[in-house]
Structure 1
Amino acid sequence: MKAGLILPQGWFGEFEGWDPLRAYDRIIELAKLAEGLGIESLWTGEHVLTKWGGEQVLFECVTLTAALAVEAPRAELGFTVLNSTFRNPALTAKMASTLDVISRGRLTLGLGCGFRADEADAFGYDFLPLKDRLATLAEHLEIISKMVTADEPPVEFHGRYATVRQVVNNPRSVQRPRIPILIGGHGPNVTFRLAAKYCDEINLDVLPAATAQACALLRHRCEEIGRDPQTLAISISVPPSLAWRGLASGGQRMMRPDEIAFTDAASASDLPSRAEAFATWQEQGLARIVAGVPGLALSDDPLYAFIDDCRAAGLELAGQPV
Structure 2
Amino acid sequence: MAGTVRFGATLPQIKRSWDETRAAAVEFDALGYDSLWVCDHLVGIPLPKLPILEAWSLLAAVAAVTQRARLGTLVTPPFFRNPAVLAKQIATLDAISGGRVIAGLGAGWYEAEFRGYGCEFPGLRERLRALEESIEIMKRLWTQDEASFEGHSFRIESAACEPKPKQRPAILIGGGGERVLMGIAARHADIWNNMAVFQAQLAAKVEALRRRCDEVGRDFSTLEISQQCVVVIAEDADAARGQLEKAKKLYGGHMGSALEEHGIWGSPEGVIERIERHVKLGCTLFAIEFFGRDTREPARLFAEKVMPAFR
Sort the TM-score into its range (normalised by shorter chain).
0.7 to 0.9
Give 1:227-306 correspondences, 5 Å limit: 227-239=218-230, 246=241, 248=243, 254-258=250-254, 260=255, 267-268=258-259, 270-274=261-265, 275=271, 276-295=273-292, 297-298=293-294, 300-306=296-302
Residues 100 and 301 of structure 1: is their aligned pair in 2 closer, same or farther, counting only changes over 3 Å? same
Q: Which residue of 1 aligns with 2:7?
A: 3
Measured against aligned partners, the alpha-carbon deviations of 1:156-201 in whole angstroms (never above 9, x if no partner) come to: 11111111112111122112xx111111111110111000111111
Measured against aligned partners, the alpha-carbon deviations of 1:62-109 in whole angstroms (never above 9, x if no partner) come to: 111011111011111111111222111111111111110110111111
Cα distance in 2 for residues equivalent to 1:250 and 1:269: 9
Deviation at 1:290, TM superposition (A): 0.5
8 Å CA contact 1:208–1:280 kept in 2: the answer is no
8 Å CA contact 2:231–2:264 kept in 1: the answer is no
Cα distance in 2 for residues equivalent to 1:47 and 1:181: 19
Deviation at 1:223, TM superposition (A): 1.7
Residues 250 and 308 of structure 1: is their aligned pair in 2 closer, same or farther, counting only changes over 3 Å? farther
The answer on 1:215 being equivalent to 2:206 is yes
Q: What SS does the aligned partner of 1:230 have?
A: helix
Partner residue of 2:216 out of 225, 239, 260 = 225
Give 5+ residue unaligned stretches, structure 2: 266-270
Cα distance in 2 for residues equivalent to 1:104 and 1:247: 41
Q: Which residue of 2 aligns with 1:34?
A: 28
Farther-moved stretch of structure 1 (138-147 vs 273-282): 273-282
Q: Which residue of 1 aligns with 2:176?
A: 186
Q: Which residue of 2 aligns with 1:160?
A: 152
TM-score (norm 2): 0.85
RMSD between aligned alpha carbons? 2.6
Percent identity reads: 29
8 Å CA contact 1:3–1:315 kept in 2: the answer is no
Paired residue type of 1:278: I
Residues 298 and 208 of structure 1: is their aligned pair in 2 closer, same or farther, counting only changes over 3 Å? closer
Residues 303 and 47 of structure 1: is their aligned pair in 2 closer, same or farther, counting only changes over 3 Å? same
Give 1:34-183 correspondences, 5 Å limit: 34-53=28-47, 55-149=49-143, 152-175=144-167, 178-183=168-173
Measured against aligned partners, the alpha-carbon deviations of 1:5-52 in whole angstroms (never above 9, x if no partner) come to: 011100xx5x3xxxxxxx211111111111111111111121111113
Cα distance in 2 for residues equivalent to 1:283 and 1:311: 17
Give the number of the structure whose residues are more often helix, by fraction: 2
Cα distance in 2 for residues equivalent to 1:129 and 1:247: 41
Residues 291 and 189 of structure 1: is their aligned pair in 2 closer, same or farther, counting only changes over 3 Å? same
Q: Which residue of 1 aligns with 2:189?
A: 199
Aligned length: 294
Q: What SS does the aligned partner of 1:288 have?
A: strand
TM-score (norm 1): 0.83
Farther-moved stretch of structure 1 (54-63 vs 192-201): 54-63
Paired residue type of 1:277: R
Deviation at 1:273, TM superposition (A): 4.3
Deviation at 1:301, TM superposition (A): 2.0
Paired residue type of 1:167: A
8 Å CA contact 2:78–2:107 kept in 1: the answer is yes
Residues 283 and 310 of structure 1: is their aligned pair in 2 closer, same or farther, counting only changes over 3 Å? farther
Q: What SS does the aligned partner of 2:250 have?
A: coil
